Every structure is written in structure tokens, then in C-alpha cells.
Amino acid sequence: MAHSDTSASRSAAPEARFALSAAAFEIAPLRAGLLSAQAGAYASFEGWVRDHHGGRAVLGLRYESYAELALSEGEKVLAEARERFAIVDAHCVHRVGDLAIGELAVWVGVSAAHRDAAFAACRYIIDETKARVPIWKHERYADGDADWLHPLPPAAGA
Amino acid sequence: MSTLTVLYFASLRDAAGIASESVPADARDLRGLYETLRARHGFALPVERLRVAVDGAFARWDEAPRAGSEVAFIPPVSGG
């Protein structure tokens, strides 16, 4: 839920690595949370709200989640990344609620001994989050229309 | 009557006009439950494009609905 402090809201478990945030959040404290003497590399991904989609002008959007399942599935994605890649740690925060153009929608941060694992894990986390975590985007278009995005799986669409 | 709670998200919630409802738990499986509710609310999405969750964990469509559980139909996600 929305917190007024500078860090993203966390789920109840102190060891949680995936979080939903109902308010804008600062990246610096999240990055600082990944600092480690073992890490020689840090890679991050930021997803921003852009002003177009499928050739249509977008005015803004809203993210809705099934929070209980989004948090557990997000934690699974991060646990998988730690198993598959030689990383030190990884965190992910996804916004929910109303967002304006240019706002930060999702942040992924990974620390690792070396850059290859950091880049690969970062890519894995954002790809799996987009594919599996129950969060939905509702876009408002300049022509007055608005709609939920329910994309086809990569094999069938995109 | 043994019932369960169904949660609707995104386009399913818009189509149903409600975020949740209590329904009889008498369908043979979760697929049958969705088909019944799809017919009632006019959901555009076929079952093949959804996933289903029971009590906060992904489930299989051939599972039988359980009274007292919380069933969520998960439309294709679009976070990120």
C-alpha cells in the first residue's frame, strides 16, 4: 500500500525481494540495498510509461494487480533468477495505480560478481515479470478510448 | 448451499461490473465454473487465454471447485 517514505512499500516479509508500490518510489535506496562487498557489477532496468502504444497516442495508464498472487509469483521469479544466474541479489518493484507519461512503472536491480550474470538476470526478471506476474495495464488514449491490455503469448502474437 | 468466492480483474471485472461474487461450488471443474460465468457476464476471453488461481496460488482447470475457496480468473497479464 502507499507509504509516504522514500522507499517502495514492501510486503510484510522482511526478506521480500518483490514489491508492489501504490506511490512513486525512489531508486537510490533500492540500489543501496543491493550493495555488497561480493558484487563487482550492478545492472538495473527501468520501465517507463510512454506516450504511445500500437500507433495510438496514450495519455496515461493504470496498473491493477492481484496483489496476493503477484507478490508470491514475483518472489518466485526472483528466486529463479538467483538459482539460474551467479548473482548476489536481485530486487524488483512494480507500481500499481494511476501513472502519468514518463513515470517509473517498474524497476529491477541486480548485483553480481561479474557483469554477464547481472545483465542476464536483469533481463530474465523483467521478461518473466511481464509474462507471469498478475498485473494488468489499463491505457487511456488521446482519442477518448481506454482499454485493458491482454496480450497474446509471444508464440501466437507480438 | 456450499459456495465459493470468485474474484474478477481487469477486463473481466469491467464486463461483470463487480470485483467479486459468491457463486455455488457445484461445477464439475474450474473450467466449467468459468464457462458458466462467462455465459452469464458475457466475458470475451476464452478459457484458453486465462489462467486460474485458487486461494492465491495458480491451479489447474480440471480441479474441482471447493466450497469456501477463493477462485481468481487471471486474464493475460500486461505489467512491466
Contacts of B56 in chain A (CB under 8 A): 68-69, 72
pLDDT score recorded for residue A152: 86
**Distance between start and end Cα atoms, chain B:** 41
Are the Cβ atoms of B56 and A68 closer than 8 angstroms? yes
Query: How many angstroms away from the CA of A35 is the closest CA of chain B?
Result: 24
Closest CA to A94 of A128, A120, A118: A128
Residues A53-73 pLDDT 10s: 999 999 999 999 999 999 999
Angle CA A76–A80–A86, to nearest 5: 145
Average pLDDT over residues A107-115: 98
Half-sphere exposure of B75 (CA within 13 A, CB side): 25
Residues A125-142 pLDDT 10s: 999 999 999 999 999 999
Residues B23-72 pLDDT 10s: 999 999 999 999 999 999 999 999 999 999 999 999 999 999 999 999 99
Query: What is the ipTM for the molecules in this complex?
Result: 0.94
